Chain A
Amino acid sequence: MLFNSFDFVLLVTVSFALYYTPALRRLQVALLIAASFTFYAANSLPLLALLVGSIFINITTSWAVARSSLRAARAWAMVGLAANLAVLGFFKYAGLLYRTVSDIVQAESAGHVLLMIPLPIGISFFTFQGMSLVADTFRMRDTDELRDMVHASAPKHGLHTALFISFFPQLVAGPIVKAHQFMPQIKPKTLADVDWALCYRCLVLGYFLKMVIADNLKDLTFWIAYPHFVTRSSAELVAMLFGYSMQIFADFAGYSLIAIGVAWLFGYRLPQNFNFPYIARSFADFWRRWHISLSTWLRDYLYFPLGGNRRGARRTYFNLFVVMFLGGLWHGAAWSYAVWGTAHGLCLAGERLLRRWVKLPDHLLVRIVQGAAVFTVVTGAWLLFKLPRFEHAVQYVRSIGANGSLPTDVSAVMMITLFSLPIVLYHAASLMEQGRPASALQAAQGPALGVMLFLIATNAGSPGAFIYFQF
């Protein structure tokens, strides 16, 4: 069920009306769970059983972690984490493992049934949330905050966990919410709890980014796919890569904003997921701005437990490498994603190493060069998202150099520029915002949202699935 479909609008409208009906106020959590299951079942009814199973695992293990002695709690936490990883591993990576092994041993076996395992939509998101519930419960065992995490009543803990794991605005593509951020918010809500202005801004901007920018760029960057790109000129190849970089931002940031806006309608605050990532001047800065909920999840539940940067330089580089390798693989069951993550890991480690020896002056030109360098590398790396086969990505880069003599489709290049422009302006506005009075920017918000609404009504592209749905 796409966020820009009539079915979704209907689901939200009906759920919203029932949610704030005074007579049904005591059933708010149950209503949201029902809406979430409906949302998930609309994508795949049989796989709803897997979501329910995942919820059950996390209800039982988090409950046991909260109610057991330290030793038993540790064991239960390990069981919970392992069960979540097993679900993720089996449904997402079993096929990759089979393909890799059969490629190495050059033999077919009965294991080919692993290739037929369906990839449940949003599995990477809801299993990570389940793991955060188990880990947060264990960490907070001896604190007062545990009461907010695990309700004293088992049935209520079950309902709260079910809502946390399945909350439909962010169920299939994030933002990934950590248990300690969400569980304390579960309480009866009234219309007064809703931040209407923020909600309106998030929804209009989110739908604009998705329907006007991402959906239009989707059709223009389609030709990056193999073998279509081989007949495109160098200028078109560069423009399409640039456009894809804008598209993936607009698509994912748009989705996140819609999720945040819809969650606000029901009184829940979701974390910010993007903070103008393309103005980052370093890779570390980029990862503080891009898919923030994933990078902070990896930091809190993987990088820190591995020792972070407290065990010496070599261990820090190793930790960065491991986290980014796994973070890359989280995106998809293909080695190209691991290569993509590893490349980012190497860049993070490399710039950390470089910073120890080189001190760059704080000059405007230097800042521009830094930003351009980071953007170029990040954009080049997105190619592995569009061309999962590494040799095709290499051929694409070669074609940029080789296809200079082919005629350019000027119209396509201009359209990519046109649809990318709002993203460039969006990032530029954030730079201009610094040091300006807030009132001037607030005055421009209304007209800007009006323009976006007009373009949503007149210039939406053909509807397409969100890129991050596949992860």
Chain B
Amino acid sequence: MKKLLLTSSITFALLAVGYGAALSVLPNRVQRGTIGTTQWDRNIICLQSYLYEPTPDVVIVGSSLGTRLSELPAGWSNLALAGGSAMTGLETVRRSGRAPRLVLIEMNFIDRGVDEATVNGLFMPVAHQLRGATPAFRHENRPSVVTSWVMVDLYQRLEWRLNRALGGDGVTSERAKPQAARLSEVRRASMIDRQLAKYEAPVDEADIAERVTGLRRTIDHLAERGVAVALFEMPEDASLYDAPAKVAWRAALAEALPRDRYHWVDGVRWSDYHTTDGLHLAGEQAQRYTRHLVDAVGRLAQAEPPETR
């Protein structure tokens, strides 16, 4: 047993030290590449970067809708999580004990609760401190990410050469993906129908009340730490605006978080925006909404703070 423990511990130590040293000399694009990561990996990378990098001035928490916000000003950090909700990002901000100047909360999928497993994983004792001290233990530096970057790079070089040798245009399958990923109108319409069916399902008033109360409690907790909070709703497909679930949530939020006491970013007309699938804004549309948000935050900074509780 002693020998087993000793050899495995030495191997572990050698790998940890060697890998840490290797990371420091690898190009930045390898360390922070998005190749070899899933949307859940990217969520964790995003949350860890908030925990281990200097505290940003403005933090956005939200769902996959918020991940589309692009070209953010310096000092802004986007903790919107694909497949998740603002609640997980908000809980991370709360538990981190850090105090950004402003937290922007995207309300579109606020019905999704906190992903406890993810948040507990972030703050797992020992692992949390280890990641803080040694970047090699952070999610963005996982050996599989580095390995897959090398593998995909090799594959694309090979594919490109083969393609050119055969008289092609040199476009690799990976580079061709974004174009191919565009949805047909038929499929887009069916996705909007499916989303509408979800929004038309009966809502649980008690559940909404409980979640809204939890949200208000977290916002008040942040306010006590000196963190300002503003709420915003991103545009989705216009046909979804008046769906029963949307209306019910909007009413509950307006009642629990009234505009005279909480900051709200002015809404936009949903029909002025186009989505790729009924929910997510297309690239240039997302940039337009980002500008709207940045302008609103600028106005908030000049405005009187809402009446304190």
| CB contact under 8 A between A411 and B35, given known A406-B180, A450-B9 | yes
B124 touches A411 (CB 8 A): no
What B residues does A406 contact at CB under 8 A? 180
- Binary interface encoding of chain A residues 262-287 relative to chain B, with 1 for a CB under 8 A from any of its CBs, else 0: 00000000000000000000000000
A231-B276 Cα distance, complex, nearest whole Å: 15
What B residues does A137 contact at CB under 8 A? none
A463 touches B121 (CB 8 A): yes
A407-B178 Cα distance, complex, nearest whole Å: 10
| CB contact under 8 A between A407 and B177, given known A458-B19, A462-B40, A462-B117 | yes
With both chains docked as a complex, state the minimum distance between the C-beta of B35 and any C-beta of chain A, in angstroms: 5
The answer to whether B308 has its CB under 8 Å from any CB of chain A is: no
A11-B8 Cα distance, complex, nearest whole Å: 26
The answer to whether B133 has its CB under 8 Å from any CB of chain A is: no
A219 touches B144 (CB 8 A): no
Interface size class of B (residues with CB under 8 A): 35 or more
B174 touches A410 (CB 8 A): yes
Please provide the chain A residues from 165 to 213 with a CB less than 8 Å away from any CB of chain B in the complex: 196-197, 200-201, 204
The answer to whether B54 has its CB under 8 Å from any CB of chain A is: no
What A residues does B3 contact at CB under 8 A? 446
B4 touches A445 (CB 8 A): yes
Please provide the chain B residues from 11 to 53 with a CB less than 8 Å away from any CB of chain A in the complex: 11-12, 14-16, 19, 35-36, 38-41, 43-44
Candidates B118, B125, B147, B180; contact of A6 at CB < 8 Å: B125
| CB contact under 8 A between A204 and B8, given known A196-B1, A458-B137, A462-B41 | yes
A373-B65 Cα distance, complex, nearest whole Å: 44
Please provide the chain B residues from 135 to 150 with a CB less than 8 Å away from any CB of chain A in the complex: 136-137, 141-144, 147-148
Candidates B8, B120, B142, B173; contact of A447 at CB < 8 Å: B8
- Binary interface encoding of chain A residues 406-440 relative to chain B, with 1 for a CB under 8 A from any of its CBs, else 0: 11111100110011000000000000000000000
With both chains docked as a complex, state the minimum distance between the C-beta of A201 and any C-beta of chain B, in angstroms: 8
A2 touches B117 (CB 8 A): yes
The answer to whether A464 has its CB under 8 Å from any CB of chain B is: yes
The chain A residue sitting closest to B38, CB to CB, is A219
With both chains docked as a complex, state the minimum distance between the C-beta of A190 and any C-beta of chain B, in angstroms: 16
What B residues does A201 contact at CB under 8 A? 4
B7 touches A446 (CB 8 A): yes
A419 touches B144 (CB 8 A): yes
What A residues does B156 contact at CB under 8 A? 410
With both chains docked as a complex, state the minimum distance between the C-beta of B2 and any C-beta of chain A, in angstroms: 9
With both chains docked as a complex, state the minimum distance between the C-beta of A47 and any C-beta of chain B, in angstroms: 19
B1 touches A197 (CB 8 A): yes
With both chains docked as a complex, state the minimum distance between the C-beta of A425 and any C-beta of chain B, in angstroms: 15
A462-B142 Cα distance, complex, nearest whole Å: 12
Candidates B12, B38, B142, B180; contact of A459 at CB < 8 Å: B142
A415 touches B148 (CB 8 A): yes
Please provide the chain A residues from 15 to 41 with a CB less than 8 Å away from any CB of chain B in the complex: none
What B residues does A451 contact at CB under 8 A? 11-12, 15
B144 touches A415 (CB 8 A): yes
What B residues does A149 contact at CB under 8 A? none
What B residues does A464 contact at CB under 8 A? 117
With both chains docked as a complex, state the minimum distance between the C-beta of B94 and any C-beta of chain A, in angstroms: 18
What A residues does B165 contact at CB under 8 A? none
The chain B residue sitting closest to A4, CB to CB, is B121
What A residues does B144 contact at CB under 8 A? 216, 415, 418-419, 459
The answer to whether A449 has its CB under 8 Å from any CB of chain B is: yes
A414 touches B148 (CB 8 A): yes
With both chains docked as a complex, state the minimum distance between the C-beta of B106 and any C-beta of chain A, in angstroms: 21
| CB contact under 8 A between A446 and B137, given known A409-B177, A411-B35 | no
Candidates B8, B44, B147; contact of A450 at CB < 8 Å: B8
B36 touches A447 (CB 8 A): no
- With an 8 Å Cβ cutoff, the count of chain A residues facing the other chain is 40
| CB contact under 8 A between A457 and B173, given known A6-B124, A462-B44 | no
A216-B4 Cα distance, complex, nearest whole Å: 27
- Binary interface encoding of chain A residues 310-328 relative to chain B, with 1 for a CB under 8 A from any of its CBs, else 0: 0000000000000000000
With both chains docked as a complex, state the minimum distance between the C-beta of A198 and any C-beta of chain B, in angstroms: 9
The answer to whether B152 has its CB under 8 Å from any CB of chain A is: yes
| CB contact under 8 A between A457 and B16, given known A411-B36, A447-B7 | yes
The chain B residue sitting closest to A235, CB to CB, is B173
With both chains docked as a complex, state the minimum distance between the C-beta of B67 and any C-beta of chain A, in angstroms: 16
- Binary interface encoding of chain A residues 442-471 relative to chain B, with 1 for a CB under 8 A from any of its CBs, else 0: 000111111101110111011110000000
The answer to whether A381 has its CB under 8 Å from any CB of chain B is: no
| CB contact under 8 A between A200 and B38, given known A410-B155, A411-B152, A459-B143 | no
With both chains docked as a complex, state the minimum distance between the C-beta of B190 and any C-beta of chain A, in angstroms: 9
B9 touches A410 (CB 8 A): no
A414 touches B152 (CB 8 A): yes
- Binary interface encoding of chain B residues 209-241 relative to chain A, with 1 for a CB under 8 A from any of its CBs, else 0: 000000000000000000000000000000000
B137 touches A454 (CB 8 A): no
| CB contact under 8 A between A458 and B141, given known A2-B117, A196-B1, A219-B41 | yes
The chain B residue sitting closest to A199, CB to CB, is B1
The chain B residue sitting closest to A204, CB to CB, is B8
The answer to whether A5 has its CB under 8 Å from any CB of chain B is: yes
What B residues does A219 contact at CB under 8 A? 38-41
The chain B residue sitting closest to A455, CB to CB, is B143
The answer to whether A220 has its CB under 8 Å from any CB of chain B is: yes
With both chains docked as a complex, state the minimum distance between the C-beta of A416 and any C-beta of chain B, in angstroms: 10
Candidates B11, B118, B124, B152; contact of A454 at CB < 8 Å: B11
The chain B residue sitting closest to A449, CB to CB, is B8
A171-B277 Cα distance, complex, nearest whole Å: 44
What B residues does A448 contact at CB under 8 A? 8
| CB contact under 8 A between A407 and B176, given known A200-B5, A419-B144, A462-B44 | yes
A52-B137 Cα distance, complex, nearest whole Å: 42
A415-B177 Cα distance, complex, nearest whole Å: 17
- Binary interface encoding of chain B residues 139-183 relative to chain A, with 1 for a CB under 8 A from any of its CBs, else 0: 001111001100110011000000000000000011011001100
The chain A residue sitting closest to B125, CB to CB, is A6
What B residues does A410 contact at CB under 8 A? 152, 155-156, 173-174
With both chains docked as a complex, state the minimum distance between the C-beta of B288 and any C-beta of chain A, in angstroms: 27
What B residues does A449 contact at CB under 8 A? 4, 7-8, 11
A450 touches B152 (CB 8 A): no
With both chains docked as a complex, state the minimum distance between the C-beta of A399 and any C-beta of chain B, in angstroms: 14
Lowest 8 CB-CB distances: which A-B pairs, in order?
A450-B11, A446-B7, A449-B8, A450-B8, A219-B38, A454-B15, A407-B180, A197-B1
Q: Which B residues lie at the A interface, using CB under 8 A? A: 1, 3-12, 14-16, 19, 35-36, 38-41, 43-44, 117-118, 120-121, 124-125, 127, 130, 136-137, 141-144, 147-148, 151-152, 155-156, 173-174, 176-177, 180-181, 187
**Extra inter-chain contacts (13) besides given A6-B125, A453-B8, A462-B121, CB under 8 Å:** A2-B117, A6-B124, A197-B4, A204-B8, A231-B187, A418-B144, A450-B8, A450-B10, A454-B15, A458-B137, A458-B143, A459-B143, A463-B121
Q: Please name 7 pairs of A and B residues whose Cβ atoms are closer than 8 Å in the assembled complex, sorted by A.
A: A2-B117, A415-B36, A415-B148, A445-B4, A447-B8, A457-B12, A458-B136
